[in-house]
Each structure stands twice: as C-alpha cells, then as structure tokens.
C-alpha cells in the first residue's frame, strides 16, 4: 500500500511537471503581455523593450522556463503583473472561496443525489422513478450560468430571499450567499450522480448476494444500506474523483455570475490580462489538488471494497 502511494506521488510529480510545461508554453503562444501592460498612452518601442527586459521576456524560452520552475519549487511563481503581489499568495487568498463553493456544491449534490438515486432504483418504473429521472435530465440539461441567472431573478430580484451576488459576511451571511452558487454548481453534478447511482443500484440489487440477504430474511433497509449501497458506490466514488475537477473548473462561470471572489475569476481575469504568474500559479495549484483528489479516491476504493488491494 505504502509503495503504491509513493509510486503514485512520484507519478504526480511527473504529471505536475508536464502541466507546468504545457501551461508555460501555451501562455507564451498567446502573445506578449508587455503591449497590454503598456497599452496606455503612447509607449515607444524603447519603452516596450525596456519593460520586456525588466520582465525577462527577452530571454530564451528555456531560460524563462528554468527560472519559472526553480521558483515554483520554492512556491515562488513571481509577482502578478497586474496586482504586483506574489502570484502564489494571490491565488491562495482566493482558494478558500473556491473550496467553500466546491465543498458546498458537493454536499448539496450528495444530499440530493444519494436518496434520489436509491429511491429511483428501488421504485424502478414507478412515478417516483420517472419524476427523479426527469429532474435529473433537466439538471444535466440546464447550463449552469442560465440556471444561476434564473435563481438570481427568482430568489434575489423578485422574492428577495437571498443575496444576488457576493460572498456574505458572518456565518449566516456566508451561508445565505452560498446557497444559490452551490445549487447552481451542484445541480448538474447531483443529476449525473443520481443517474449513475440508480443504474449502479439496479445492477447490485439483482446480484446474488442481495438475493441471499433477502433469503436470510433481512429487511429492505439493511439490505439497501449495508449491502447494496456500499457495492454500488464504487462507480460513484470514481465519478466523484473526476467531478472534483469539474467543480473547481466549472466554478469559473458560477463565480463570475455570482461575483464570487474565487480562483476561477482570478484565472479568467489573469488570462485576459496575460498575467502569466497568476495563471501559472493557479493552474499548477489546481492540478495538484486534482491529482491529490484522484489519489485519495483511488485509496478510498480499498476502504469501500475490502476486495481491492494495492501493492
């Protein structure tokens, strides 16, 4: 097990290295930030050259990359071109908001999807199943920015129950401001999860060990919870791992719609402003989180299903 974890962590370093290289090259393919930084007034060629030199952009690409990766290993991604602050610090300052949103939407999705998925499987073909599947279909079909705006119109503008945008202050304020972004981000995930859980449960409910359990005289609830659900969770956990990326990446749009001060907005602004250090720091950090999340998911398999061993 330990060997497996160490091996996976070594792989993770290689993947992270690849990610940094990819981001570094892609960003530079989009052009030079100097012109954007000097777009005010009428900079001369000398002004442009001076700034490019000051930012080391006149160095060969490989030297720029070595300089970047050396700094990155020490957590130094350079200073944001826009904010002038250390890029890593800037990204980290937004991370709590993004994680808060991701965790809230994750919880919302789980709370919604697990009961509905089970119920839909148990009541297969019935009105409950139809209703759940319909809601799931709608949940998957709605683009989240549209759903977000509709929620804003309904609960923010008309009913005035919830704040339209922003991250509220205090516990109650935070929770109130989190509701709509979390629902918006989590609904599609809940729908996917619910459908997956339903089909997984259907398969498991017809398995021999469930029939055996029934033959033993166990009641429905223990059969569902202790036997069927645990087995049905394997694909669900796989999806959960994959969805972490979706929740972090998909949060960009939701963050913009709800003026949520998270990493997503920061990255979009940074891309538009060619703020290389911010983009590099954010992508590297998000990639690291994703890699770790996937590793955690892989390790969780063994916890959920004792038949799975890593060696």
For other proteins, the closer of residues 229 and 257 by Cβ is 257
Closest to other proteins by CB, 240 vs 251, is 251
Give 113 or 180: the residue with its C-beta nearer to other proteins.
Answer: 180
For the CB of residue 177, give the shortest distance to other proteins in the complex, in Å: 11
Nearer to other proteins among residue 84 and residue 216 (C-beta): 84
CB of 241 to other proteins, least distance (A): 23
- Shortest Å, Cβ 166 to other proteins: 6
- Return residues touching other proteins (CB under 8 A): 30-32, 35-44, 47, 50-51, 54, 82-85, 93-94, 143, 145-146, 148-150, 152-153, 156-157, 160, 163-167, 252-253, 256-259, 261, 265-266, 268-269, 271-274
Q: In the bound complex, what is the minimum distance in angstroms from residue 179's beta carbon to other proteins? A: 15
Measured CA to CA, the distance from residue 45 to residue 292 in angstroms comes to 46
Chain CA centroid to CA 103, Å: 9
List the one residue out of 261, 280, 274 whose CA is nearest residue 87. 280
- By CB atoms closer than 10 A (0-12, 13-18, 19+), residue 276 is buried
Q: How many CA atoms lie within 13 A of 298 on its CB side?
A: 15
Report the residue number, 37 or 289, with the smaller CB distance to other proteins.
37
Describe the crossing of helices 263-272 and 230-257 by its angle, rounded to 10 degrees.
50
Helix and strand numbers (H, E) in the chain are 13, 0
- Tell me the angle at which helices 276-304 and 2-29 cross, rounded to the nearest 10 degrees: 150
Shortest Å distance, C-beta 246 to other proteins:
13
């Amino acid at each position: 097990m330990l060997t497996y974890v160490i091996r996976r962590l070594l792989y993770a370093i290689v993947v992270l290295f690849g990610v940094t290289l990819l981001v570094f090259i892609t960003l530079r393919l989009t052009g030079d930030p100097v012109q954007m930084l000097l777009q005010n007034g009428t900079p001369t060629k000398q002004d442009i050259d001076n700034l490019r030199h000051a930012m080391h952009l006149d160095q060969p690409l490989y030297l720029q990359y070595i300089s970047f990766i050396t700094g990155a290993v020490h957590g130094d991604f350079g200073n944001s071109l826009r904010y002038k602050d250390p890029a890593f610090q800037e990204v980290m300052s937004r991370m709590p908001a993004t994680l808060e949103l991701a965790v809230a939407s994750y919880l919302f999705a789980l709370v919604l999807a697990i009961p509905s998925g089970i119920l839909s499987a148990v009541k297969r073909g019935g009105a409950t199943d139809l209703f759940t599947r319909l809601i799931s279909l709608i949940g998957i079909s709605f683009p989240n920015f549209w759903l977000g705006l509709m929620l804003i119109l309904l609960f923010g503008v008309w009913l005035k129950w919830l704040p339209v945008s922003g991250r509220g202050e205090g516990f109650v304020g935070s929770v109130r401001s989190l509701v709509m972004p979390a629902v918006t981000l989590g609904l599609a995930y809940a729908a996917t999860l619910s459908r997956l859980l339903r089909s997984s449960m259907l398969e498991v409910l017809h398995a021999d060990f469930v029939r055996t359990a029934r033959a033993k005289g166990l009641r429905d609830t223990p059969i569902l919870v202790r036997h069927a659900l645990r087995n049905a969770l394997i694909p669900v956990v796989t999806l959960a791992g994959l969805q972490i990326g979706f929740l972090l990446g998909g949060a960009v749009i939701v963050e913009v719609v709800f003026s949520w001060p998270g990493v997503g907005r920061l990255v979009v602004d940074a891309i538009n402003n060619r703020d290389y250090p911010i983009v590099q720091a954010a992508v590297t950090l998000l990639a690291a989180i994703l890699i770790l999340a996937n590793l955690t998911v892989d390790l969780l398999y063994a916890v959920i299903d004792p038949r799975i061993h890593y060696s």
